[in-house]
Amino acid sequence: MKSIAIKNLKEFEIKEIEEPKSDGQKVIIEVKKAGICGSDIHYWVEGQPTGLVLGHEYCGLVIDPGNRKDLHIGDRVTALPLSPCGHCPACHAGNIQYCPETWDHAAGLSLDNPGALAPKMAIRPDMVIKVPANISDEEVAMVEPTAVGLHAINLANLKIGDKVLIIGGGIIGLVSAMFAKKAGASYIAISETNKARGQKAVDLGVADAWFDAKDPEIINKFMQQTQYGFDVVIECCGNDPAVSTSLMGVKPGGKVVLVGVATKAITIPTVLAVMHEVTVQGSIAYTKAEFETCIELMNKKQIDVTPFISDTVSLEEVQTAYERLTSGQDDAIKILVDPNR
Ligand SMILES: NC(=O)c1ccc[n+]([C@@H]2O[C@H](COP(=O)([O-])OP(=O)(O)OC[C@H]3O[C@@H](n4cnc5c(N)ncnc54)[C@H](O)[C@@H]3O)[C@@H](O)[C@H]2O)c1
Ligand SMILES: [Zn+2]
Ligand SMILES: [Zn+2]
C-alpha cells in the first residue's frame, strides 16, 4: 500500500509499504483521519530517521480486532501511541507516559510501527479505545493533542483567577489555553513569532491577548499587564528563546510547565529560576485516564476543538502541508490527512 515516509531534510516520499497482516494480537484499522503534529515536524525538519511513516493522532475503523474480544469489524477507534513495558515503577503507578520504553516502539514514531500516514495501520491492542458515535472522525483525530494540553494544565495546578502565559500558539498551545480557561484562569496571553497564529488565538477566543515574541520589549509589556509576572507559564515551542522567556515572564514563586520538545540541549538563565524560586515542571503526553477524559469531554460537548482544524489533505499533499505549517506566516493550526482520499 501507499504511504508517506521521511526521505531527507524537509522531504517526504510516497513509499510502498507492506499492508499490516493479522497476527491474532494487533488491532488493524483503516485510517479515516490522521493529524500532523508539531513533534512530527521535528522529524521532518531533521530528515531522520529515513523511512519513518509518521501519524500518531488518528481515527480509524477496525478491520481486524486482533485479540480484543470487545471490538468488532467497523468499530470506530483511536489509540494512545505509547508502548509501555507494563512492569516498571512508572507503569505500576499508572504513569505509562514516562515508562523508559514507552517511545521505543511508539506507533507512528518508530520505524517498526508505521503510523497513520498510510491507508491502514496495526496497533498494539491494549492502547486502542473505542469512541462514541457522537464525536466526528476529525474530533477523534484531535483527542491525542488535546490530551497533551489537558496533562500540561493538570500538572500546572492552576488556581481560579491565575494569569497564564502560553508560549507558542500551535495546537498544543491552543488546547492548553482552552483548558487553562476551563480551569479558571482570569487572563490568558499567547506569545507567538507567527503574527497570523497569534491573532488567530485571540480571534478564536482562546486567548485574551497575543504578544509578538520577537518584540524586544515583550518582558516589559508582560510586567505592565500582570504587575509581577504570570502565575503560570506553559512553554509549547521547545526552543532556547521560548524557555528563556518562560523564566522571565513567570512571577516570583510561579510555575513554568515545559511541554515543547527540544531536540538538542538549550541554554537557559537558571539564575532566574533560583532567585525567584520558580518551579519548573516537565510534561510529557498524558495518562490513559486523561486521554479518556478528552473523549468524554468531546462526547458531552464540553470542549470543541474543531475550530483548530484548518484543512484536510491527501497523502500527496502532505509535503505541501508541512511546508505551510512551517512557513512562519500561515494561520493554519492543525492539518488533518485522509490517507484514503
Ligand atoms: N510534551 C509533549 O507531550 C508534547 C506533545 C506534543 C507536542 N509537543 C511539542 O510541543 C511543541 C508544540 O507542538 P505543536 O504541535 O503546537 O507545534 P507547532 O509547531 O504547531 O507550534 C509551535 C508554535 O510555536 C511558535 N514559536 C516558535 N518559536 C517561538 C518563540 N520563541 N516564541 C513564541 N512562539 C514561538 C511557532 O510559530 C508555532 O506556531 C513542539 O515542540 C512539540 O514537539 C510536546
Ligand atoms: Zn502529537
Ligand atoms: Zn514501564
pLDDT tens profile 55-75: 999 999 999 999 999 999 999
Cα distance between residue 210 and residue 192, in whole Å? 7
Residue recorded with cell 476551563: 182
Cα distance between residue 149 and residue 169, in whole Å? 12
Ligand 1, closest atom to CA 238? Answer: 41
Contacting residues for 144 by C-beta, under 8 A, at least 6 apart: 35, 37, 56, 57, 58, 78, 80, 81, 291
The phi, psi pair for 239, rounded to 5°, reads: -130, 170
Mean pLDDT for all residues in the chain: 97
Kindly state the percentage of the chain with pLDDT values over 70: 100
Query: 166: CA distance to ligand 1 center in Å?
Result: 10
Ligand 1, closest atom to CA 97? Answer: 3
* 252 CA to centre of own chain: 29
pLDDT tens per residue, range 131-164: 999 999 999 999 999 999 999 999 999 999 999 9
Domain pair 2-142+305-337 / 146-282, same fold: no
Ligand 1 lined by 154 (C-beta under 6 Å):
no
Cα distance between residue 203 and residue 69, in whole Å? 46
Cα distance between residue 227 and residue 187, in whole Å? 13
Ligand 1 lined by 81 (C-beta under 6 Å):
no
What does the pLDDT read at residue 225? Answer: 97
What is the grid cell recorded at 61?
475503523
pLDDT tens per residue, range 292-325: 999 999 999 999 999 999 999 999 999 999 999 9
What does the pLDDT read at residue 227? Answer: 95
Break the chain into its structural domains and give their ranges: 2-142+305-337, 146-282
3-state secondary structure of 94: coil
Ligand 1, closest atom to CA 145? Answer: 6
Protein residue with its CA nearest to atom 25 in ligand 1: 168
Kindly state the percentage of the chain with pLDDT values over 90: 99
What is the grid cell recorded at 99?
515508562
The number of the ligand nearest the C-alpha atom of 39 reads 1
The number of the ligand nearest the C-alpha atom of 115 reads 2
| Residue to substitute in 96, 109, 172 for testing ligand 1 pocket (most ligand atoms within 8 angstroms of CB) | 172
Taking a C-beta distance cutoff of 8 angstroms, is the pair 173, 165 a contact? no
Ligand 1, closest atom to CA 333? Answer: 20
pLDDT tens per residue, range 31-40: 999 999 999 9
* Separate counts of helices (H) and strands (E) for the chain: 11, 15
Q: Which CATH superfamily is domain 146-282 in?
A: NAD(P)-binding Rossmann-like Domain (3.40.50.720)
Residue recorded with cell 507494563: 86
Ligand 1 lined by 45 (C-beta under 6 Å):
no
Ligand 1, closest atom to CA 194? Answer: 37
pLDDT tens per residue, range 72-90: 999 999 999 999 999 999 9
* 312 CA to centre of own chain: 17
Query: 124: CA distance to ligand 3 center in Å?
Result: 15
**Ligand 2 is an ion; residues with CB less than 5 A from it:** 37
Taking a C-beta distance cutoff of 8 angstroms, is the pair 80, 56 a contact? no
Q: How confident is the model at residue 263 (pLDDT cuts 50, 70, 90)?
A: confident
State the pTM of this model: 0.98
pLDDT tens per residue, range 164-220: 999 999 999 999 999 999 999 999 999 999 999 999 999 999 999 999 999 999 999
Sequential DSSP letters for 104-161: TT-TTTBTTB--SSSSEEEE-GGGEEE--TTS-HHHHHTHHHHHHHHHHHHHHT--TT
Cα distance between residue 302 and residue 214, in whole Å? 35
Q: Please check whether the domain covering 2-142+305-337 is classified as CATH 3.90.180.10.
A: yes
**Ligand 3 is an ion; residues with CB less than 5 A from it:** 84-85, 88, 91, 99
Ligand 1 lined by 170 (C-beta under 6 Å):
yes
